[in-house]
Structure 1
């Protein structure tokens, strides 16, 4: 965390106080604070922008739309899998050092990367190493027999040793697969695939496998030049009962990657409660905060404003008890959850407030492509990953057509080109609230403090502090207007959403409204 301490103080420094002199917006541009506090935009290339007319988004399409990412205010892009794979989602890799031909070539990727870096946009790619595709050359060799040199690249067991596990019926948080040992049909060994039989797990007890993975990481960092990796299924490198081995592996992985790129960004997917997630911080400096997403939704359902603020405070305190060198990767949605607007009952008011909450809370927030234009989507997963609507259908030549959208259509979602012209649109709201965060260090990298005062149940209240700045934030998550006292010393309205009024010593908060106050 040394680099960040040079800047100010990160959210792990809970409860620390600073001087509170007001700072001008020009002095507070924080675009270079990534990854500690920057905004990352998640893209599913297949659904983003198509330049060759095959109905599938591609890397050249991303290159054409980098100015859009910059306009939105994001500091980085996370790409969902882009390596060769037999599936549409590409989470089962067949070649770790190539680009899926539907998306382009390594040359296309490098050109995109160069253009992104020219715009100060970092690039993070999905790295799927818990498993490969069952069509990967390693597995094709491993299937040939017990004596094949690649056999030990995967996890095997004889039938009579795993009988008790063959009819497993436990569904985990991140997999609904109920049968994790799979039969080759050869009358002998079963192989382990935590997610599906199409995705056989690699055997990380084999040092050759670990070295293969490190070499793949070196390739993308050194020869290609990416800025980091999003590590899929980081909790499942080893079985759940070997958590200590998982932690040790990621520490080793981080050390190997930092030999190549000392500032490499590693963000892990560990889908669990904070007590399970936190020990991974010694290897994976950044971890997704799934609790943020689910607690935000729960707070709206219960109209309980402090539910999320208290949860976030406790998570940061817990993490800080393990290490002060961590990044809390907050999310309001991603490619595995129903679209946020669906989760919020298609309420425009709630969606606008939800992003205001995300951008005024501590952490390094992620935005899932299309959320900023109010895209819709529910399970199954392909319908959460429908094509981005750039313009009205009659002129939107780059809109991918690989899937017929069920939720995000011209009848249900206003395309970006139209929203740009509407000051009240989702897009302009997202753009504005991201700019708010990017111009106030207290919001981007400040500590989180909870007030001692008691407010109406629907009110979320917290203070954000960074060196030279202190801000007080209120959100009314309820469907009725409430009043709260104006905090002493906070007389400047920095930001307001939905008609908030300050009258004397009180603040009037309409339903689903927010205000940020400064000194």
Structure 2
């Protein structure tokens, strides 16, 4: 008998170390990618540079350097540059100023710093790369990135970079050379010809974004295959993973190739894709997706367009077709740099907080867009990309206190981070169970999206939760007596206030030494 099999047999017989103690949930818990709290930053807008005067020459016209108290405004098209003027407005943040404010992420309780593109590019958003291997000088240098990554790691934070590998920028020297010279070694890096407006195939019609020809092997070798490729060299510099812009444009075969290259270079690294499709088959190609589908399901719920029961069935289908492990690694987002800010979409506090509570209790990694914790507002791009409101970062700020409470709740309750998901059969209520291998880890989450109290009896299919167990709300218990319900024969009758979420924890009462849970696994 092999040693592992023998030890397992001894453990089952109670005669040896319990290998079963190292459960699938323990392994999930050791993997930083599962259920982490992600904090997204646009470097230009996150923190003002300490050395702005010395940098002014880096913003020549038609670029404009704005004051930190200014807000982004819609621009006009600049035909000669093939961009909108709003794309050339800068606020002056850099990697050094981001590093100086990492303590904010630590104090908030975030686990991951996700940076929008930092490579050399012409615009403020940096999705038009000129040279992937160089950092935009407004932000600093590769050495500055290494310092930021080291500082983040010292604070217990991981770092994820934005990979824009579907297209470059029209001003990229290699594109200009390829466009001008049919014999250029870069000619086949792009799709060039008179059949294309502007002379080359571009991403969704934007002339500033010529597409890369990924079928041409030298392109993929430069981006992710070679040891000195973009993807692998930044991982060695300290990045822990990549978020892939327009990942669906890369296709499943190249996504798999890229992900394998990342995992070979840094085992345990994360590759999460911007997939704005139903995610299931895409998750065979990389680790995780950004949760656009879940976001719309939750918005429909919060706006009263779909019942809680229907939303529960939709989310259950999403989790089941995606698989629990990719779901735990996928990013639960409510807003980001491409979407109106949450506080603009939902100015009323109750539905907004319902959404945020679900963002933190459903399986996945909550993705916080900088400033959401202090109630920053902003409509569609560019209004959603305003400079961080550091003047609002005060302990008394109600939104900051709420986000900290949600993060603390997630840290305290293991099942919310790495537990399985079971949909509960509600009608008006959205209800689900998060559980692990420990009975008292189980948490029942119940959301009432309506504007009136709702009472329902819910089946809770968790066999190890014992009859008569009190279930206590651990989300809304601060400063008062928490809501309390009792599990009877596997059923839980709850009454949920309007537009609110309960997170219910089993809390057996002391019975003078008697314990109903003493012989369950």
Residue 140, structure 1, aligned to residue 176, structure 2: yes
- Choose 1 or 2 for highest CA Rg: 2
Distance 1:514 1:260 in 2: 42
Alignment partner of 1:255 out of 231, 252, 260 = 260
Name 2:446's counterpart in structure 1.
474
Name 2:418's counterpart in structure 1.
445
Distance 1:266 1:330 in 2: 15
Listed as ranges, the gaps of 5+ residues in structure 1 are 11-29, 160-180, 185-189, 238-245, 392-414
Residue 47, structure 1, aligned to residue 45, structure 2: yes
Aligned pairs, number: 425
With the length of structure 1 as denominator, give the TM-score of the two structures. 0.77
Name 1:233's counterpart in structure 2.
246
With the length of structure 2 as denominator, give the TM-score of the two structures. 0.77
- Residue 446 of structure 2: SS of its match in structure 1? strand
Name 1:311's counterpart in structure 2.
314
The answer (yes or no) to whether the contact 1:8–1:466 under 8 Å persists in 2 is no
Distance 1:358 1:191 in 2: 38
Distance 1:319 1:112 in 2: 34
Distance 1:324 1:90 in 2: 28
Name 1:296's counterpart in structure 2.
298
State the 1:34 CA deviation: 2.1
State the 1:267 CA deviation: 0.5
- Residue 95 of structure 1: SS of its match in structure 2? strand
State the 1:156 CA deviation: 2.5
Q: Which has the higher contact order (CA 8 A, sep 6+)?
A: 1
Residue 386, structure 1, aligned to residue 396, structure 2: no
Give the direction of change, closer, same or farther, for the CA distance of 1:318–1:335 in structure 2 (3 Å limit). Answer: same
Name 1:460's counterpart in structure 2.
430
Give the direction of change, closer, same or farther, for the CA distance of 1:357–1:479 in structure 2 (3 Å limit). Answer: same
State the 1:41 CA deviation: 0.7
- Across the aligned residues of Structure 1 and Structure 2, the Cα RMSD in angstroms comes to 2.4
Name 1:242's counterpart in structure 2.
none
Name 1:340's counterpart in structure 2.
342
Give the direction of change, closer, same or farther, for the CA distance of 1:507–1:282 in structure 2 (3 Å limit). Answer: closer
- Residue 109 of structure 1: SS of its match in structure 2? helix
Give the direction of change, closer, same or farther, for the CA distance of 1:329–1:70 in structure 2 (3 Å limit). Answer: same
Give the direction of change, closer, same or farther, for the CA distance of 1:489–1:204 in structure 2 (3 Å limit). Answer: farther
Alignment partner of 1:194 out of 181, 187, 204 = 204
CA displacement 1:174-230 (0-9 Å, x = unmatched): xxxxxxx3224xxxxx434335111100011111111111211121112x1210111
CA displacement 1:276-331 (0-9 Å, x = unmatched): x322222211111211111111111226223433222111111239x879733221
Residue 483, structure 1, aligned to residue 455, structure 2: yes
- Residue 40 of structure 2: SS of its match in structure 1? strand
Give the direction of change, closer, same or farther, for the CA distance of 1:74–1:213 in structure 2 (3 Å limit). Answer: same
Alignment partner of 2:232 out of 193, 198, 218 = 218
The answer (yes or no) to whether the contact 1:297–1:343 under 8 Å persists in 2 is no
Give the direction of change, closer, same or farther, for the CA distance of 1:87–1:5 in structure 2 (3 Å limit). Answer: farther
The answer (yes or no) to whether the contact 1:72–1:431 under 8 Å persists in 2 is yes
Alignment partner of 1:183 out of 193, 198, 210 = 198
CA displacement 1:238-273 (0-9 Å, x = unmatched): xxxxxxxx211111112222221121210011112x
